[in-house]
C-alpha cells in the first residue's frame, strides 16, 4: 500500500507528536509476551472496523519518526507488507510518519474508543493508563539493548502489559529499539552541574521529565516537531534523544554538543485498539503479532548497525562529542525511583533478572 507523507493529512498536522519519539537473541514468544497476553474481550464499544478498497480491515499506524528512520522503514517494508501478503489483502496497513494522525497521546485515545489505529509509543506514555509500566523507561534501568530486552521478558513486564491490555489496548509487540538516549545541547555538558539552568525539551511523560530534572535540567514540554524551531529561537538549550532521530531532525544544525549520558535504552511498542483487534479472525491476530515482532527485530538491527553512521553524520555537521561523567548522571538519577514510587517494582525486576 502507498506510503503516506506529510502532505496527505494537512488537517491533522496541528496535533504533532510528543515523541518518545540489534539483532534480537530472544525468541518471538518471549519478547512478545504482552502480545500473547490477555485475550479477554474488553468492554469498549467500537464501530465495526472500516473496510478499505480491496480489503476487509484497514489499520492506520502512526509514528513520530521521519520516513528515513529505520523504524518507519520496518513498519512499511516488514509489518505492512507481511500483513497484507499473509492476509491476502484482507488487512490493509497504512503507515503515517511525522505524527500525521496526532500525538501519541491522541492516537492512544482514538484506539481506546475502537478506532482502527495504532501507534509506536513508549512505557512513559502508557503509564498514564497503567502507572507501573513507566518503570521500564526509568533512568539507567538498563545499560544496553540486550539488558532492555531482558526487562521486557520478565513476569513483571507481562503483568503490567496485561493491565495495559485490560484497559482497552492491544500490544502487538514491544521490541522496537530506537536507541540510547543522549543529550544534545548548545553548551557543553560534562556533569549534572553543567546542566543546571539549561532548558531541555521533554516529551511530557512524568518519567522523562523527572529524569531530566534529576540530571540538573529545567524542562520544557513540547512536541518533537517543535524542538528544531525552539532550538533555533533559543526557547530551549537542548534535547534528549537517540542518534537516529537526531539525524532525522537535523539536530546538528541547531545544537553543538553531544553528551553520551545513556540515561535510557528506548524500547517502544506497537500498540493498537484492543476492541478493533478482537474483531479480527484468530489467524489474522497471529499474523499481526508475528509481523510486528519481525518488524521490531528488523528496526532494532538497523538502528544498531547504523549507529556509527549516524554519529559520523552528526559530527560531519559540526557536532562535538563531550567527555561527560556518566557515573555522575547515573547517581543523580537514583532519586527518581523514590520520587515516582518505583522502588518496589524495580526491586521486583532486579530479583527476577538475578535468577
H/E/C letters for each residue in 180-239? EEEEEECCCCCCHHHHCCCEEEECCCHHHHHHHHHCCCEEEECCHHHHHHHHHCCCCCEE
87 and 132 in a common domain: yes
At 270 the pLDDT is 99
Separation of CA 354 from chain center? 26
At 55 the pLDDT is 58
Beta-carbon count within 10 A of 139 CB = 25
132 and 63 in a common domain: yes
202 and 282 in a common domain: no
Indicate the range of 12-26, 57-71, 222-236, 341-355 predicted with least confidence. Answer: 12-26
pLDDT in tens, 160-203: 999 999 999 999 999 999 999 999 999 999 999 999 999 999 99
pLDDT in tens, 277-324: 999 999 999 999 999 999 999 999 999 999 999 999 999 999 999 999
In a domain, 354, yes or no: no
Residue 234 lies in domain: 182-264+309-342
Whether 239 and 227 have beta carbons less than 8 Å apart is answered as yes
In a domain, 63, yes or no: yes
Split at pLDDT 50, 70, 90, the class of 340 is very high
253 and 148 in a common domain: no
245 and 117 in a common domain: no
In a domain, 3, yes or no: no
At 224 the pLDDT is 87
At 40 the pLDDT is 34
Better pLDDT: 129 or 4: 129
Is residue 157 over pLDDT 50? Answer: yes
* Count of domains observed in the chain: 2
- pTM for this predicted structure: 0.84
At 42 the pLDDT is 36
pLDDT above 90 covers what percent of the chain?
83
Averaged pLDDT for residues 87-111 = 96
Is residue 32 over pLDDT 90? Answer: no
258 and 110 in a common domain: no
In a domain, 117, yes or no: yes
82 and 131 in a common domain: yes
247 and 275 in a common domain: no
At 19 the pLDDT is 41
For residue 287, report the phi and psi dihedrals to the nearest 5 degrees.
-60, -45
In a domain, 355, yes or no: no
Nearest to 271 by CA among 241, 297, 244, 296: 296
41 and 31 in a common domain: yes
Pair type for strands 238-241 and 169-185: antiparallel
In a domain, 352, yes or no: no
Mean pLDDT of all residues belonging to the chain: 88
Amino acid at each position: 500500500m502507498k506510503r503516506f507523507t506529510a502532505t496527505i493529512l494537512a488537517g491533522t498536522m496541528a496535533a504533532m507528536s510528543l515523541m518518545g519519539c540489534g539483532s534480537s537473541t530472544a525468541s518471538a514468544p518471549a519478547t512478545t509476551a504482552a502480545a500473547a497476553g490477555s485475550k479477554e474481550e474488553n468492554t469498549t464499544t467500537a464501530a465495526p472496523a472500516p473496510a478499505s478498497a480491496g480489503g476487509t480491515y484497514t489499520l492506520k499506524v502512526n509514528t513520530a519518526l521521519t520516513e528515513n528512520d529505520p523504524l518507519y522503514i520496518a513498519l512499511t517494508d516488514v509489518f505492512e507488507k507481511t500483513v497484507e501478503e499473509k492476509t491476502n489483502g484482507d488487512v490493509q496497513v497504512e503507515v503515517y510518519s511525522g505524527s500525521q494522525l496526532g500525538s501519541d497521546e491522541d492516537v492512544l485515545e482514538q484506539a481506546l474508543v475502537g478506532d482502527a489505529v495504532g501507534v509506536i509509543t513508549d512505557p512513559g506514555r502508557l503509564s498514564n493508563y497503567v502507572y507501573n509500566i513507566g518503570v521500564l523507561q526509568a533512568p539507567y534501568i538498563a545499560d544496553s539493548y540486550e539488558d532492555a530486552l531482558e526487562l521486557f521478558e520478565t513476569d513483571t513486564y507481562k503483568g503490567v502489559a496485561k493491565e495495559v491490555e485490560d484497559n482497552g489496548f492491544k500490544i502487538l509487540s514491544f521490541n522496537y529499539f530506537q536507541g540510547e538516549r543522549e543529550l544534545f545541547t548548545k553548551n557543553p555538558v560534562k556533569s549534572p552541574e553543567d546542566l543546571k539552568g539549561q532548558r531541555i525539551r521533554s516529551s511530557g511523560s512524568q518519567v522523562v521529565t523527572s529524569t531530566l530534572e534529576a540530571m540538573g535540567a529545567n524542562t520544557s514540554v513540547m512536541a518533537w516537531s517543535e524542538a528544531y524551531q525552539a532550538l533555533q529561537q533559543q526557547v530551549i538549550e537542548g534535547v534528549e534523544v537517540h542518534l537516529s532521530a537526531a539525524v532525522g531532525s537535523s539536530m546538528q544544525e541547531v545544537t553543538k554538543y553531544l553528551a553520551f549520558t545513556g540515561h535510557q535504552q528506548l524500547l517502544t511498542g506497537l500498540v493498537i485498539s484492543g476492541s478493533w483487534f478482537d474483531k479480527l479472525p484468530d489467524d489474522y491476530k497471529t499474523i499481526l503479532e508475528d509481523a510486528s515482532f519481525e518488524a521490531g527485530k528488523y528496526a532494532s538491527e538497523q538502528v544498531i548497525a547504523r549507529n556509527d553512521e549516524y554519529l559520523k553524520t552528526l559530527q560531519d555537521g559540526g557536532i562535538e562529542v563531550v567527555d561527560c561523567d556518566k557515573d555522575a548522571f547515573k547517581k543523580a538519577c537514583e532519586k527518581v525511583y523514590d520520587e515516582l514510587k518505583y522502588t518496589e517494582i524495580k526491586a521486583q525486576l532486579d530479583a527476577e533478572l538475578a535468577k
